[in-house]
Structure 1
Amino acid sequence: MKANSTSIYMQDWLALHPYNRVSETDQYYLDLANDILKIWNKSELSFQVNSEIKSSVACHLTAYFEDVISQLGLWKAFISKHKELYGKYLPFYSLSDSYFEDEVNYEDIAFLLWLNMQLYVGNDKEELIDPEESSIMALAKEIYDFLDTEYEVAPENTFMTGFFDFGNKEYDKFPAFANDAEWLFFQSYLLALCNEEPINEIIGQVHKFYPKAADKEKNAIIHDAVNRLMFSDPCGPLALSMNEWLSAIAGSQQPFKESFDKFEFIDREEFYVIEKSNLHIKIRSAANGREIDVTKESIKNVSGLHPWKTVIRVCCAFYNDTWWFFGEYSTRELNDEEDIRPAVPYIKEEKADDPVYDTFMKASNGESLMFIPSYDALKEFFINGLKWEDNEDNMMPDLKDMQNFVLHANPKGMLIAPNIAEYVKDARNPMYNAEEARKNALDLFTVQGACPADLLRFLEESNRLPDAGFISKKGEEYSKKVFHDNWDFISRLFLESYYRAE
């Protein structure tokens, strides 16, 4: 964004939209964004943010207002899905009697302002910002009062009003779905904000592992990786997959909602080309033998795909009862000596109970949770308790330099989390340290990979993480109550794919 402390420009505003040409309402909303920026510049927000962040947040708040006025449906999808999950429209805030889901609300502004401050400022400081921090609430009230005066006169952006009119688009085919998903993921005020960090991670990894590659090659790798991320990982403040977001926007009465709900994505893998017909290419997964028929519409040139001679490495998307190739692909010749996996009937995998569960429960005297102080003690449990063979691979050598383990068994298997036992309050846990827990237990909910999702849920739902909270001027008890009342939302927001991991 090229805005300075006093101006937001048209190109900055259009960057949040699925079009490039100025519509008849864009100047109105651009002026509104600049008015919000002026209000902010006169306020006393407790957080030091640069002019670029201020301008971005002003645009995001204006885009929310445009969404509500124009009935785009993204904000309504968010609050409706939040209510479906948690029985209330928003996290953190007690809603007033004047809260209406189809109108602009003070609590909406407060949440969006907090979300932006958390992702732009709080994450950098590795802290959870108090959602009711006084300066956030005061600025939210000023912005709300201003937008409330504009509510009756604000014009609809008719392009945005009709953007998710699914009946007027070629939504019977995957490209229309993919195009709108791309805008949601990369540009929309609500989802793109949450996706900046994982996208920046990908960019950093590409520059790290391809230091000598030309910029054009790096950009191609980045473009491919982030496009795959769009469909492979959950995103946004509720950690929903793209088809779940579009399904929530569509609502129960919209056409193609069933296609959204049944959407499936196979991330890049190798397939044998089996046969070609006038309409389809039949391919077989080299990994599991699953066969699918992919429409020829999804690939420009099929001449290089030869049955029983070509292996294609590609992503596949299932939409509206049709499989499509997606993104970049590569091919190689099938090795004559290659052991081709036979076709197998596809059955959606239902994971059976893991046999280690019964062994674990027997070794732990019926306790599903164990606390082990050191790696040596962990090895002893593996060998004497679980009866594992004593060899390097079985003993999880990656854990050698770690301690304070928490082990949890459920029918899916056994989960191990190192370096967290100090945060878990349990009469059987000698490592619990209330002071350390007050400082660091929050990490289990906000740091990806710190604790497996099933273990986190078990510990929270059994009240074994009572010290988790954030710093607030309203005191520790307030902080803990707000945190634990909203822990699942917080986990979704920060853990994303780790939260949704099976």
Structure 2
Amino acid sequence: MKQKKIYMQAWLDAHGRVKVVDTDGWYLDFANQLLPLVAESYIYAGKEMEEDQKRVALTCALYLEDCVADGGNWRQFIHWHQENYGRYLPFYTLTDDYMPDEINREDVVFLLWAINSPVGDNFDGVENPMDADLLEFADALYNRLDAAFELAPISDYLATDWLLETELMQKKRMPLPVALPGEKMPTNVERFLEASKGEPLLYFDSYDALKFFFVQSLKWEDEEDSLLPDLKEFDNFVVFANPKGLLIGPDVAPYFADKHNPLYNAELAEEEAYELFCEEGLCPFDLLKYGMEHELLSEAQFPFENGKELLQENWDFVARWFLGEYYEGE
């Protein structure tokens, strides 16, 4: 069988440039040396996994290039994570053996987690960052990277944004909007809070119930085009009133452990609520923040061992990683 190969164009594409520099050949060769190891692994074996195999090998080469140069998107990422979350990586307990200016086993495990946890339209689940097969294969890759670390050339032309976009790292999590004393709020919000007796969240089991609230409490025109007809196909709504206006989360009410929520379903929350942090557009981000900051999503957990701890402790990073532009988006 013909040996698969990564070509220079793929390496240049990862760097966002067209010109080959002196160090490119060395790192491309290293990526191609990794390919047989990746292809023989339990995780990535099989012809249908060829694109993932190449991605793993390329990612390891990009990581090595950044580490040798002590720069690039990898260094940017770990120092950003340290500054924002108090440690260099999500998920993993790092010891004094972790060296931010060298290569580390935990780094390689995280890179595999990132590759196996696609975002956006490609989202199909979250990899367990503590998966035994992942940890074992990361050790094999780490040994190859460790052996190459002192041999690899320093590049002055590092790839940008190959792991996490700079723009996404620069986004700050904004505080939830709070009404200032004497501040006039939108009419919809004032009417909502009057109807809810000051509660910022209300729950509706159907579009008909939501529509009735729009007409009776918010005084909207009882005409189909005025009553958000696109919501007809949904149910189990959460409506969040805040000084900016009203936010509506369809199909999410069962996940909110609110004493005022008759639709809360603990079993569904345990099984499905993690998707709010991972699927773009599933839940308005301010509503997600409100739920976390008021402990209303306390049962949200990944569907694997230690999934609650891993999500609850890393939820902001997880939301940023998976939601992309929806993180603090409009």
TM-score range, shorter chain: 0.7 to 0.9
Deviating more after overlay: 24-33 vs 444-453: 24-33
Query: Which whole-Å CA distance do the structure 2 matches of 1:489 and 1:353 have between them?
Result: 32
RMSD over aligned Cα atoms: 2.7
Q: C-alpha displacement at 1:443, in angstroms?
A: 2.1
Supply the distance in 1 between the matched residues of 2:78 and 2:88 (Cα, whole angstroms): 5
1:415 positional shift: 0.9
Contact 2:196–2:202 (Cα < 8 Å) also in 1 = yes
- What SS class does the counterpart of residue 246 from structure 2 fall into? strand
Pick from 129, 134, 137: which aligns with 2:135? 137
Measure, in 1, the Cα distance between the counterparts of 2:275 and 2:211: 26
The residue number in structure 2 matching 1:312 is none
Q: Secondary structure at the match of 1:376?
A: helix
- Partner Cα distance (2:329, 2:13) in 1: 32
CA distance in 1, matches of 2:71, 2:38: 26
- What secondary structure is seen at the aligned counterpart in 1 of 2:95? coil
2 CA distance for matches of 1:403 and 1:449? 16
CA drift of 1:451 comes to 0.9
| Residue of structure 2 in register with 1:126 after alignment | 124
Q: Tell me which amino acid in the other structure corresponds to 2:151.
A: V
Match of 1:386 among 196, 218, 223: 218
SS at match of 1:406: strand
Question: What residue is the counterpart of 1:52 in the other structure?
Answer: 51
Write out the 4+ residue segments of structure 1 that deviate beyond 4 Å after TM superposition.
46-49, 122-125
Task: Name the CA shift for 1:394/1:29 in 2 (closer, same or farther; >3 Å).
Answer: same
Residues in 1 aligned to 2:186 and 2:3: alpha-carbon distance in whole angstroms: 58
> Which residue matches 1:479?
307
Displacement of 1:144 in angstroms is: 1.2
Q: Quote how far apart the aligned CAs of 1:387 are.
A: 2.8
CA distance in 1, matches of 2:318, 2:133: 21
Q: Secondary structure at the match of 1:416?
A: strand
Q: Following TM superposition, by how much is the alpha carbon of 1:69 offset from its aligned partner in structure 2, in angstroms?
A: 0.8
Write the deviation string for residues 397-442 of structure 1: whole angstroms up to 9, x where unpaired. 2222322111111111111111111222222222222222233212
CA, structure 1 residues 112+238, in 2 after alignment: closer, same or farther (shift >3 Å)?
Answer: farther
Distance 1:62 1:367, change over 3 A: same
What is the CA–CA distance in structure 2 between the aligned matches of 1:238 and 1:480, rounded to whole Å?
28
Equivalent residue of 1:442, what SS?
Answer: helix
Corresponding residue to 2:300 among 452, 468, 479? 468
Q: Which has the higher contact order (CA 8 A, sep 6+)?
A: 2
- Residue 447 of structure 1 and its aligned partner are, at CA, apart by 1.6
Structure 2 matches for 1:299-310, cutoff 5 A?
A: none
1:306-325 mapped onto 2 (5 Å cutoff): none
- Aligned residues: percent identity? 41
Residue 180 of structure 2: aligned partner: none
Aligned with 2:162 (options 169, 178, 189): 189
Q: 1:401 to 1:149 in 2, by over 3 A?
A: closer
Q: Quick one: which of 303, 314, 317 aligns to 1:489?
A: 317
Deviation at 1:395, TM superposition (A): 1.9
Show the counterpart of 1:97.
Answer: 96
Tell me by how many angstroms 1:83 deviates: 2.1
Secondary structure of the residue aligned to 1:23 is: coil
Aligned residues: 317
Q: CA 1:436–1:393 in 2, change beyond 3 Å: closer, same or farther?
A: same
- SS of alignment partner, residue 10 of structure 2: helix
Residue of structure 2 aligned with 1:445, choices 253, 270, 277: 277
- Structure 1 residues 400 and 6, CA gap change in structure 2 (3 angstroms): closer
Task: Give the deviation of 1:363 after TM superposition.
Answer: 1.0
* 1:5-31 deviation digits (Å, cap 9, x = unpaired): 543333333332344444332332123
Task: Specify whether residues 238 and 143 from structure 1 end up closer, same or farther in structure 2 by C-alpha distance, changes over 3 A only.
Answer: farther
User: Which amino acid is 1:448 matched to?
Assistant: E
Aligned residue among 409, 416, 419 for 2:248: 416
User: What is the 5 A alignment of 1:280-291?
Assistant: none
Look up the match of 1:67: 66
Residue of 32, 35, 38 corresponding to 1:37: 35
Q: Do 1:129 and 1:471's aligned partners in 2 also have CA atoms closer than 8 Å?
A: no
* Residue of structure 2 in register with 1:201 after alignment: none
Tell me how far apart the structure 2 counterparts of residues 19 and 429 of structure 1 sit (CA, whole Å): 53
In structure 2, relative to structure 1, the CA distance for the partners of 1:406 and 1:19 (3 Å cut) is closer
Q: For residues 398 and 70 of structure 1, do their structure 2 counterparts lie closer, same or farther at Cα, with a shift above 3 Å needed? A: same
Greater Cα radius of gyration, structure 1 or 2: 1
Compared CA separation, residues 21 and 421, structure 1 to 2 (3 A):
closer
Residue range with higher mean Cα deviation, 23-32 or 46-55 = 46-55
Which residue matches 1:433? Answer: 265
* AA aligned opposite 2:23: T
SS at structure 1 position matched to 2:327: helix
Q: 1:442 to 1:60 in 2, by over 3 A?
A: same
d(CA) in 2 for partners of 1:387, 1:98: 63
Q: Report the CA distance shift for 1:469/1:500 in structure 2 as closer, same or farther (over 3 A).
A: same
Counterpart position of 1:156: 154
User: What's 1:396 paired with?
Assistant: 228
Give the deviation of 1:358 after TM superposition: 2.6
Instruction: Looking at secondary structure, tell me which structure has more strand per residue.
Output: 1
Greater displacement, 122-131 / 108-117: 122-131
In structure 1, C-alpha distance between the alignment counterparts of 2:196 and 2:226, rounded to whole Å: 19
Please identify, of 94-103 and 478-487, the stretch whose mean Cα deviation from structure 2 is larger: 94-103
**What is the CA–CA distance in structure 2 between the aligned matches of 1:238 and 1:37, rounded to whole Å?**
31
Q: Which letter does structure 2 place at the counterpart of 1:117?
A: N
Cα pair distance change 1:15/1:377, threshold 3 Å: closer
CA distance, structure 2, for counterparts of residue 362 and residue 30 of structure 1: 64
Give the equivalent residue in structure 1 for 2:193: 361
Q: Distance in 1 between matches of 2:134 and 2:234?
A: 40
> Aligned to 1:69, what secondary structure does the other structure show?
helix
After TM superposition, the score normalised by the length of structure 2 is: 0.86
The 1:415–1:18 alpha-carbon spacing in structure 2 relative to 1, beyond 3 Å, is closer
**Which residue identity is paired with 1:471?**
P
Structure 1 runs not aligned, ≥5 long:
161-182, 192-235, 246-350
Pairs within 5 Å for 1:367-378: 367-378=199-210
Could you tell me which runs of 5 or more consecutive residues in structure 2 were left unpaired when the two chains were aligned.
172-182
